[in-house]
Amino acid sequence: MGNLGRIIGGALTALALSSCAIVDNFSSRAVNYNIVAEKAQQQQVLLNIVRASLNRPMQFTTLSSITGTASETGNETLTLPFGESMHRPKGLVSPDIFGLSGTISGGPTFTVPVLDTQEFYQGELKPLTGQEYRFFLDEGITPSVLFYMFVDTIQLTVADDTPVAKGAQKAPPLTFTFHSYVLDDFDNNRYETVADYLLAMGLNIEEVHHSETIGPPITAAQLHDLRDIAQLTNAGLHITPVRSEAQTTGGTKPAKIKASDRYQIEKAMTVYRPCFAIPTGAVYTGQIDNPLLCGSNDPSDTSDQKSAGLSRNRGGFTAPGLQAALDAVQSQYLANKSPEIVQQLSALPSIPPGAKLQVRLIMRSPEAILHFLGSLVTRELNPSPGESPRVIRVKIGAPYLPYPVTRCDASPDPNVPQQAIGGYRCDNLFVLLRGQSTDSSLSVDYDGYSYSVPSDDRLQGRTTRMLDLVKQILALHTSAKELPASNVLNIIGGPAP
């Protein structure tokens, strides 16, 4: 019995120790959950981009929670005879029984909800803001990548400062619109030409603070109750004394400005506007009026109508060479087109020489960004009849170097060597492989094909970074409660009132 007891005790101890080791060693499994969650979220984004490329409805789900579980159970059975062994007949099988059993289990419990609520789609359809644009610029994302990804339409408007006679109606300003439509070479090449021109001018987004007046001035008698003042402060409003205008007293020295007994209720406003910060050595040779420069303290920069996408700023910027570049795009596109198309496109108006321009940027929503990336996949893998495959590229380089206006090569082969332009290189914006056997760490199967991100860093270009940006933007927008509304970054340099 002594030896048997030791054997049994040792077996039970080994079972307990091994099961505890398996159950308690959860660090590696926790890391594996993180890796699996990363792949699941990226695959969901990639799957919707593939759907968009095939004009299929998108479906949104998310991995909301992962709970790891681990448990162990064990039991043993030991039957030993009692009394002397001589009481059993000879040849009878011994009733002594020894048994050990155990169960060890572990695994994750996860939740994958379908995102089809009103709140989700309100956020998903809400266009990006200038604040988000500024934030990602501060995070060090390449300006050209952000511009191509965030901006759907560029509008250039001729700033007309010509005075209008009293009672006469002013003619609508001449506006030129450029769409980011990669499925058509004419629209896409014109958009890229204008986008690169603005980026070469040092296009940026800055935060501007100003005060908006609320209601008419009030008297001191109307502010007798401190509770009213506290309520105004809690509402984000502040009270500013209305000062009388400076008056001269017969000499050249103005009298001191004195406060009156009237007060103005104001609200601090923060808006984000495009501006120009021309880098050293920029190729731009035109004129930019002071209100359009980043950091300008021009009083017209604080128009109360900025938040509504309006502008009363004076001035503008000239664009020497831009129309010539657009003409070159048009001539190249019309080389082999029918006479009807040649006649229609040749009738497009041209930017007047030396005209002062203002710019308006119309932003995409998260859903529009997914459709944009889907159109990149379509143009690469499933071009429309009459259009050849093409890969869209962006210029990547050090921010202190002047941004070149020369467009990247439009080669349909994503494997072409990286083009170098003025210290910048041309990277593929978004590339997927279809139906190829690769060692990619990110792929998704849909409609009988396998779509994967190239494993070669040079070939994939900015693809993985774009996927990460989309994931962040979707997360930022899915909790929005406001109704979707078209968002326009404010005009740079509008006509005089």
pLDDT for the residue numbered 410: 81
What residue type is 319 in one-letter code?
Answer: A
Q: Determine the pLDDT at residue 399.
A: 80
Q: What band does 57 get if pLDDT is binned at 50, 70 and 90? A: very high
Nearest to 102 by CA among 28, 24, 29, 22: 22
Residue type, 9: G
Q: How far is CA 228 from the centre of its chain?
A: 41
Order of strands across the sheet that contains 175-179: 175-179, 151-158, 357-363, 488-489
Q: Give the pair of three-digit tokens for residue 227.
A: 């509770």
Residue 58: which of 66, 68, 47 has the closest Cα? 47
Mean pLDDT of the chain: 77
Beta bridge pairs of residue 254: 248
Q: Do 205 and 326 belong to one domain?
A: yes
pLDDT score for 406: 87
Query: 427: which strand partners?
Result: 394
| pLDDT tops 80 at residue 24 | no
Same domain, residue pair 482 and 380: yes
- The pLDDT of residue 435 is 86
Residue 101 sits in the same domain as residue 158: no
Range from 245-249, 336-340, 363-367, 446-450 carrying the lowest mean pLDDT: 245-249
- Same domain assignment for residues 203 and 66: no
Q: How confident is the model at residue 136 (pLDDT cuts 50, 70, 90)?
A: very high
Q: What pLDDT is recorded for position 36?
A: 77
Residue 340 burial (CB count, 10 A): 8
Same domain flag for 291 and 426: yes
Domain-embedded: residue 354 = yes
pLDDT digits (tens, 9 = 90+) for 170-189: 677 889 999 999 999 999 99
Residues 312 and 445 grouped into a single domain: yes
Residues 54 and 178 in one domain: no
Instruction: Classify 467 as helix, strand or coil.
Output: helix
- The answer to whether residues 300 and 384 belong to one domain is yes
Residues 74, 180 share a domain: no
- Average pLDDT of 393-416? 86
Whether 255 maps to a domain, the answer reads no
Q: Burial, 494: exposed, middle or buried (Cβ in 10 Å; 0-12, 13-18, 19+)?
A: buried
pLDDT at 480: 53
State the pLDDT at residue 411: 81
Answer whether residue 145 shows pLDDT above 90. Answer: yes
Higher pLDDT, 113 or 9: 113
pLDDT value for 39: 84
Residue 427, SS3? strand
The Cα-based distances of 181 to 152, 175, 185, 360, 483 in angstroms read 8, 18, 8, 17, 26
Query: Does the pTM exceed 0.85?
Result: no
130 falls within a domain? yes
Closest CA to 287 of 355, 200, 352: 355
Residues 379 and 229: their CA atoms lie apart, in Å, by 60
- Closest by alpha carbon to 301, among 309, 313, 290? 313
Mean pLDDT (whole number) for 313-319: 77
Confidence (pLDDT) at 482: 53
pLDDT digits (tens, 9 = 90+) for 405-426: 888 888 888 887 778 888 899 9
At 115 the pLDDT is 76
Q: Each residue of 60-109: pLDDT tens digit?
A: 887 766 666 655 555 555 555 544 455 556 555 455 555 555 555 556 67
The number of domains in the chain is 2
* pLDDT reported for residue 30: 73
Same domain? 105 vs 157: no
CA atoms of 418 and 409, how far apart (whole Å): 9
Q: Are 414 and 455 in contact (CB under 8 A)?
A: no
CB of 266 within 8 A of CB of 213?
yes
The residues facing 67 across adjacent strands are 109
Euclidean distance between the first and the last CA atom of the chain, given in angstroms as a whole number: 107
378 belongs to a structural domain: yes
Query: Which pLDDT does position 311 carry in this prediction?
Result: 41
State mean pLDDT over 372-384. 92
Same domain? 129 vs 31 = no
Dihedral-angle region of residue 195 (phi above 0 means left; psi in -120 to 50 means alpha; beta otherwise): alpha
Percent of the chain surpassing pLDDT 90: 32
So what's the pLDDT on residue 433?
92
176 and 276 share one domain: yes
- The answer to whether residue 244 sits within a structural domain is no
Quote the percentage of the chain above a pLDDT of 70: 67
Using the predicted structure, report yes or no on whether residue 165 has a pLDDT greater than 80. Answer: no
Indicate whether 305 belongs to any domain.
yes
* CA dist., res. 226 & res. 469, Å (int): 48
Which pLDDT does position 249 carry in this prediction?
45
Q: How confident is the model at residue 50 (pLDDT cuts 50, 70, 90)?
A: very high
Best CA proximity match to 149, nearest among 172, 167, 170, 132 = 132
Q: Is residue 476 part of a domain?
A: yes
pLDDT digits (tens, 9 = 90+) for 255-314: 554 555 777 777 777 888 888 887 666 667 778 888 888 887 654 443 333 333 334 345
Q: Who has greater pLDDT, 311 or 457? A: 457
Q: Which domain holds residue 481?
A: 118-164+172-210+271-489
pLDDT at 7 over 60: no
Give the pLDDT of residue 294: 87
Q: Is the residue at 325 inside a domain?
A: yes
